[in-house]
């Protein structure tokens, strides 16, 4: 943290604000450090833009803050980063105004920049097929890895849902699993023959890694570690990362990529977005609709690359 070498009313308010965050708001050390850094960035801007406003906080206006936002943008900061810094400033000036340190709140009417829409990353269908073809079957762990990947892609479940999956949650007769999602909401998800076969193959050999030290709770888990314990997030992330990297140069290689691929590929094949919402366990349709943007981008790419006069 760089040391502020100048003084004035703004700096005095800054110190009182940080104390308020710590004592009255019980903010975490990480939050306090982040807010302090944002404010120091603003003060540094003020020292060049209007040094007198460091001494007299009432000189800061909505236009001063807008100028700072412009300067941040010129430095290459993303809209989300700028929005976070402006949120800090809003909190700071709201505190200063409520305590009577300033006559007006210059940040009250400042609009936050709209965050960029970050489209979910997914694999193309060919890469998914290549990933499964590249999987081995030599060891018991190869068999489990295949079952994990097949289930992720077949159901779109979250990492936490796969970790928490128990034997009693798998229904081979109905070809479906039961998972406990966010907000302790239970849902039933079907799976296809490929995932079913991979799960059966794993369960046929799973008993080989059940040991005396395996607890009763762990013994009910579908997926296990080499020590006979319930598999944990980092282990699954490592498996997925290694398998995706064999066949794809995708920048994202987390289990969530397979969840996104599940939804995107269903949508591309004409599945109703409301059905996808239920399968994924989204609380509202807005969360699912981001996949329509992914699908539209794919259509644009096909159009641009295929139509003689289709350059967009």
Looking at the annotation, which residues are catalytic? Answer: 158, 182, 256, 259, 282, 291
Query: Please, which residues bridge with residue 189 across strands?
Result: 177
Q: At what angle do helices 285-306 and 273-280 cross, to 10 degrees?
A: 130
Query: Which contiguous run of DSSP H or E holds residue 235?
Result: helix 233-245
How would you list the strands of the sheet with 170-171, edge to edge? 170-171, 176-180, 186-190
Q: Which two tokens stand for residue 19?
A: 């104390």
Q: At what angle do helices 255-268 and 140-155 cross, to 10 degrees?
A: 50
CB burial of residue 195 (10 Å; 0-12, 13-18, 19+): buried
Q: How many helices (H) and strands (E) does the chain have?
A: 14, 3
Other Cβ atoms within 10 Å of 132 Cβ, number = 15
Q: Nearest CA to 292 among 258, 262, 312, 264? A: 264
Q: How far is CA 270 from CA 102, 151, 214, 236, 295, in A?
A: 58, 21, 44, 30, 10
8 Å CB contact between 250 and 244: yes
Q: Which two tokens stand for residue 208?
A: 């080989």
């Amino acid at each position: 943290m760089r040391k502020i070498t100048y003084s004035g009313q703004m700096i005095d308010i800054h110190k009182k604000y940080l104390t308020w965050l710590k004592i009255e708001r019980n903010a975490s050390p990480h939050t306090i450090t982040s807010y302090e850094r944002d404010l120091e960035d603003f003060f540094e801007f003020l020292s060049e833009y209007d040094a007198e406003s460091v001494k007299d906080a009432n000189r800061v206006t909505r236009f001063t803050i807008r100028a700072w936002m412009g300067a941040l943008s010129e430095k290459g900061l993303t809209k989300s980063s700028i929005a976070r810094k402006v949120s800090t400033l809003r909190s700071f000036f709201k505190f200063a105004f409520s305590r009577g340190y300033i006559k007006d709140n210059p940040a009250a009417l400042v609009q936050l920049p709209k965050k960029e829409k970050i489209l979910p990353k997914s694999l193309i269908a060919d890469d998914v097929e290549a990933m499964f073809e590249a999987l081995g079957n030599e060891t018991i762990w190869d068999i489990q890895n295949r079952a994990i990947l097949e289930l992720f892609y077949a159901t779109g479940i979250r990492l936490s849902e796969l970790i928490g999956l128990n034997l009693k949650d798998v229904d081979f007769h109905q070809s479906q699993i039961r998972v406990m999602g966010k907000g302790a909401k239970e849902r039933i998800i079907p799976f296809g023959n490929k995932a079913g076969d991979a799960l059966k193959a794993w369960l046929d050999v799973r008993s080989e890694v059940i040991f005396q030290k395996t607890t009763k709770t762990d013994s009910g888990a579908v997926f296990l570690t080499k020590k006979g314990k319930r598999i944990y997030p980092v282990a699954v992330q490592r498996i997925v990362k290694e398998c995706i990297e064999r066949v794809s140069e995708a920048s994202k290689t987390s289990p969530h990529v397979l969840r996104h691929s599940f939804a995107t590929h269903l949508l591309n094949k004409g599945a109703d977005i409301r059905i996808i919402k239920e399968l994924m366990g989204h609380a509202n349709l807005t969360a699912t609709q981001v996949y329509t943007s992914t699908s539209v981008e794919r259509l644009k790419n096909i159009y641009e690359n295929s139509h003689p006069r289709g350059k967009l």
